[in-house]
Structure 1
């Protein structure tokens, strides 16, 4: 298939592009490079420099003729979304409506959307499944849930079939070592630990050590970015084959605590990685992790690369390359 990957120069997007290529699809990347990187692009793919806030950019892109598209162009910092809701309204909601309108105008009827488990809010039970109530507690999660509602209506009214993939924390890097572009201004735990190990940060802040968990720190669901990329490909092929929309959770089903991630990183990197304990952050639940039973049933998907050692070692390999590269300059 001819597939347009919107946000395909970003961290998750570049891994999705790599898996789509491996599956034999023809790829064109659409990206404004606000957080994506030119070094994440593959020379055999087409590239369109464009912005989802400009309908004319999207119209020109979709006019080239695509069978399907992947949407990975939303802003994703939950904390920032609570301070700058207007930024998230414009990019995530308005930008997505622009994408949907351009797609249906050019008869592109299949879509995979990078959603989030933030649509659920604090868990009423664990592991979180697809039937769990949706009650986002940050504006970022609200925008993603709103987009899911828009897609539902465009399915009913315009026949646009979609797969919404809800996952928590993407982590790790390409095991083949091909994709090496570092995330810009990362906020997630693992890259922050890596930046501390690499001397880019003074120390790691651990927010709360008195939670009702096995070691007192928060437990989160980390899914290797290669596993997520594989899921995007499987989801696309599912909705095309069955001509039906799909919403699934993608989780490792176990969860990793902050201290477990930190200790694994110290062991694998051989670095001391200084850390300080600070107070809890408002709105941080003790545990968040999802079941992937439905994804196994519908897509035949399960996490294969999401063990803690694979997550840490594949990420450290990329940071080590950057450290050595700077040393050689």
Structure 2
């Protein structure tokens, strides 16, 4: 297929694009490179790869690119609550308005596989349990916009929504701010962390398993289209305290303390069922321990010394 990937130079996209090319697809990426990343240099030699430096919010840029595609993976977004809170106008125009504009220009035959977020669950029921039928209680602007977009997306007859768990693992466009990545970075470099509301749980998934999910969606599109699927690692519905304990197995001198007072600004707390996507034959390939091991190696390369003297 000819696949258009918006935001394809980002954290997920820079892992996804090489895999789509390896599967034989023609891939066009549109990205504004807002993080000054050069994360797709390793695929520029591929004859089926094309790259457009552009903004997904500009209709004149997107309309011809959409028209040429058999399928679209819209990754371009302001991702995460802190970034959206800092620039709410940019967040809404990218996360909502650009998707609305894209949906005006896609045909009924074109396929869309889109990441949304399981952070939309906010807090689960009395058991903190959530499946695809659970009520949505988005807390952050990011989650609120993703809920609106998912509702629009499912009006399209050829769309799949993957509600992603919190992603972890190394990527050419690295994000150290994601929770597993962040805690592992602190363990490796600071050896210390203070936890607020350490019992809060959430679900996690390796970035390469997210990529495998997109490919699985295309491979099984006729049976999966028109549906929402939670996409997470079923063995990783764990609390922040349990996450730190898992990291400490590989970083033995990592110390973590629970703060007796104070609140986490991120009030998400839920256990997510991934049974629906597993019933389609999808299985994750990377464990949480695999990801922590990978990150420890990766952080030998990444040192956040931009504002330090050593």
TM range (shorter): 0.7 to 0.9
Secondary structure of the 1:204 match is: strand
Partner of 1:50: 54
Partner of 1:253: 234
* 1:8-47 superposed matches below 5 A: 8-35=8-35, 37-41=37-41, 42-43=43-44, 44=46, 45-47=49-51
Q: Could you say if the C-alpha distance between residues 253 and 202 of structure 1 is closer, same or farther in structure 2, counting changes exceeding 3 Å?
A: closer
Partner of 2:106: 103
- Alignment of 1:317 with 2:285, yes or no, is no
Contact 2:21/2:27 (<8 A) preserved: yes
Contact 1:119/1:134 (<8 A) preserved: yes
TM-superposed CA distance for 1:293, in Å, is 1.2
C-alpha distance in structure 1 between counterparts of 2:20 and 2:200, whole Å: 34
Instruction: Identify which range, 308-317 or 39-48, moves more after superposition.
Output: 39-48
Paired residues in the alignment total 300
C-alpha distance in structure 2 between counterparts of 1:4 and 1:36, whole Å: 21
Among 177, 182, 189, which residue is 2:174 paired with? 182
Secondary structure of the 1:53 match is: coil
CA deviation map 1:299-326 (0-9, x unaligned): x112221x221120112222212359x9
TM-superposed CA distance for 1:274, in Å, is 6.5
TM-superposed CA distance for 1:111, in Å, is 0.5
Partner of 1:169: 166
Unaligned runs of 5+ in 2: none
Contact 2:191/2:253 (<8 A) preserved: no
Q: Structure 1 length as normaliser, TM-score?
A: 0.80
Contact 1:252/1:291 (<8 A) preserved: no
Contact 1:172/1:224 (<8 A) preserved: yes
* 1:1-329 superposed matches below 5 A: 1-35=1-35, 37-41=37-41, 42-43=43-44, 44=46, 45-63=49-67, 65-82=68-85, 84-104=87-107, 109-124=110-125, 125-153=127-155, 155=156, 159=157, 161-173=158-170, 179-183=171-175, 186-199=176-189, 204-209=193-198, 217-239=199-221, 241-242=222-223, 244-254=225-235, 255-269=237-251, 272=254, 277=259, 279-282=262-265, 284-285=267-268, 287-298=269-280, 300-305=281-286, 307-323=287-303
Q: Could you say if the C-alpha distance between residues 39 and 79 of structure 1 is closer, same or farther in structure 2, counting changes exceeding 3 Å?
A: closer
Instruction: Identify which range, 136-145 or 265-274, moves more after superposition.
Output: 265-274
CA deviation map 1:140-194 (0-9, x unaligned): 11111111111123x2xxx5x1110002201123xxxxx44322xx432222223
Contact 1:66/1:108 (<8 A) preserved: no
Contact 2:31/2:55 (<8 A) preserved: yes
Secondary structure of the 2:195 match is: strand
